[in-house]
Amino acid sequence: MSPEAGLRAILNFEMYKRVLLKLSGEALAAGRGFGIDAVFVHRIAEEIAELHASGCQVGIVVGGGNFFRGVAEQAIHMDRVAADHMGMLSTVINAIALQDAIEKQGVQCRVLSAIAMHQVAEPYIRRRALRHLEKNRIVIFGAGTGNPYFSTDTAAALRAMEIKADVLLKATSVDGIYTADPKKDPDATKFDRITYMDIIQRGLRVMDTAAVSLCHDNNMPMLVFSMRERGNILRAVQGEEIGSLVISDKA
Domain edges within the chain: 3-247
Is 22 annotated among the ligand-binding residues? yes
More reliable by pLDDT, 30 or 166: 166
Q: What is the pLDDT of residue 205?
A: 87
Is 181 annotated among the ligand-binding residues? yes
Is 25 annotated among the ligand-binding residues? yes
pLDDT at 181 > cutoff 90: no
Is 232 annotated among the ligand-binding residues? no
Q: Which residues contact 78 (CB under 8 A, 6 or more apart)?
A: none
Is 164 annotated among the ligand-binding residues? no
CATH class of 3-247: alpha beta
Average pLDDT over residues 97-120: 97
Q: What is the pLDDT of residue 3?
A: 42
Question: pLDDT tens-digit profile of 109-152?
Answer: 999 999 999 999 999 999 999 999 999 999 999 999 999 999 99
Percent of the chain with pLDDT over 90: 70
Is 84 annotated among the ligand-binding residues? yes
Q: What is the pLDDT of residue 13?
A: 43
54 vs 102: CA distance, rounded Å: 15
Nearest alpha-carbon partner for 87 in 56, 107, 112, 62: 62
User: 10 Å Cβ neighbour count for 74?
Assistant: 10
Is 225 annotated among the ligand-binding residues? no
Is 69 annotated among the ligand-binding residues? yes
Is 54 annotated among the ligand-binding residues? no
pLDDT at 250 > cutoff 70: no
Is 192 annotated among the ligand-binding residues? no
Is 124 annotated among the ligand-binding residues? no
Is 244 annotated among the ligand-binding residues? no
Q: What is the chain's alpha carbon radius of gyration, rounded to the nearest angstrom?
A: 17
23 vs 62: CA distance, rounded Å: 5
Can you spell out the DSSP letters for 112-126?
Answer: EESS--TTTSEEP-H
Average pLDDT over residues 163-192: 92
Is 182 annotated among the ligand-binding residues? no
Is 2 annotated among the ligand-binding residues? no
Q: What is the pLDDT of residue 14?
A: 55
